[in-house]
Chain A
Amino acid sequence: MHQKPYILPLVFGILALICLGIAPYLVFVYAGIEKEMGLAQKIFYYHVPSAFSMFLGSFLCFVFSIFYLWKRDKNCDLWAACSAEVSLLFGTLVLITGAIWAKPIWGAWWVWDAQLTLTLILWLILAAYHMLRAYLEDPVQSARFRAVLGIIGFLNVPFIHYATKLWRTHHPEVVRGEEISLPPDMKAAFFFCVITFFALFFALLFKRVSLAKAQNELESLKAEI
């Protein structure tokens, strides 16, 4: 009989909670207020880590999708699907917070800029992935289609990251190669927020995976009866 797999979500959940307690101090007190953008710049501390979490989810989905197509292991499909779902959550946050930042700074909620459009495309791919899982009845066919979609989705990520170099975009370029063009106080707050969001990402991912495994177990028990 399986036990409730609590450990990993718990460890990352506690880590995320501790970080979440410290992050607001760094963002609102320690890091200074940017002169031109004012408080709207503070959105950046959660917007960019949300984007990194979205990329991380897409990367995990990509890796597990390749393994699924190679090994046909249902566990790989499960991990890919859970990564895509959590990635979709963070992707939604990226698009919403980006629009809220853009309104006071650019004067528009949305512009058809290369980086924004590519991010929207990745979000749409993740949404399509989720819909395929929900609507395709044949589980093997669904897993195969989703694996292909998961791979295509991640191929978009390098273009999003390098969009500010490849095309003329409105989007500010904060990360230049390996350097981050920020004052030290803002840089410290930013890195801490990245760690916080990664902890949060893994806490949600492990929780989602344990739920999916329990769902599978329930279905197989029902089939036995």
Chain B
Amino acid sequence: MQHLEYMTAAYIIIWVAILLYFLSLSKCEKAIWEELRELRATITKDNPS
């Protein structure tokens, strides 16, 4: 099991980085869609026609 620690470190870093990036995108997307929904609702309420 030569260099097991290096291989483990590399794989952990790759998956943690990709997961964190994905989660940050999802969090940001959720907040934006929430705000968009509220804005659209406000616009529809102000202009019912």
Partner of B17, one of A89, A210, A214: A89
Q: Is the CB of A218 within 8 A of B35?
A: yes
Q: Is the CB of B6 within 8 A of A101?
A: yes
Q: Is the CB of A218 within 8 A of B28?
A: no
Q: Is the CB of A218 within 8 A of B25?
A: no
Q: How far is the CB of B30 from chain A (nearest CB, A)?
A: 10
Q: Is the CB of A200 within 8 A of B6?
A: no
Residues of B1-49 whose CB lies within 8 A of A: 1-4, 6-7, 9-11, 13-14, 17-18, 21-22, 25-26, 28-29, 32-33, 35-36, 39-40, 42-43
The distance in angstroms between the C-alpha atoms of A1 and B43, with both chains bound, is 12
B residues near A156, Cβ cutoff 8 Å: none
Q: How far is the CB of B44 from chain A (nearest CB, A)?
A: 9
B residues near A43, Cβ cutoff 8 Å: 6-7, 10-11
CB-CB nearest in chain B for A24: B11
Q: Is the CB of B25 within 8 A of A207?
A: yes
Q: Is the CB of B39 within 8 A of A218?
A: yes
A residues near B9, Cβ cutoff 8 Å: 100
The distance in angstroms between the C-alpha atoms of A140 and B4, with both chains bound, is 50
Choose, from A32-40, A61-69, A166-174, A175-183, the stretch at the interface.
A32-40
A residues near B2, Cβ cutoff 8 Å: 37-40
Q: Is the CB of A100 within 8 A of B29?
A: no
Q: Is the CB of A204 within 8 A of B22?
A: yes
State the majority secondary structure of interface residues on A.
helix
Among B6, B17, B29, B33, residue most surrounded by chain A Cβ atoms (within 10 Å) = B6
Q: How far is the CB of A212 from chain B (nearest CB, A)?
A: 10
Q: Is the CB of A225 within 8 A of B18?
A: no
A73 at the interface (CB under 8 A from B): no
The distance in angstroms between the C-alpha atoms of A50 and B21, with both chains bound, is 15
CB-CB nearest in chain A for B44: A1
Q: Is the CB of B36 within 8 A of A221?
A: yes
Q: A4-B33, A40-B3, A40-B6 are in contact. Are A204 and B25 (CB under 8 A)?
A: yes
B residues near A218, Cβ cutoff 8 Å: 32, 35-36, 39
The distance in angstroms between the C-alpha atoms of A47 and B4, with both chains bound, is 16
B residues near A42, Cβ cutoff 8 Å: 7
Q: A93-B17, A100-B10, A218-B35 are in contact. Are A210 and B22 (CB under 8 A)?
A: no
| Chain B interface residues (CB < 8 Å from chain A) | 1-4, 6-7, 9-11, 13-14, 17-18, 21-22, 25-26, 28-29, 32-33, 35-36, 39-40, 42-43
| Chain A interface residues (CB < 8 Å from chain B) | 1, 4, 37-40, 42-43, 46-47, 50, 89, 92-93, 96-97, 100-101, 103-104, 200, 204, 207-208, 210-211, 214-215, 217-218, 221-222, 224-225
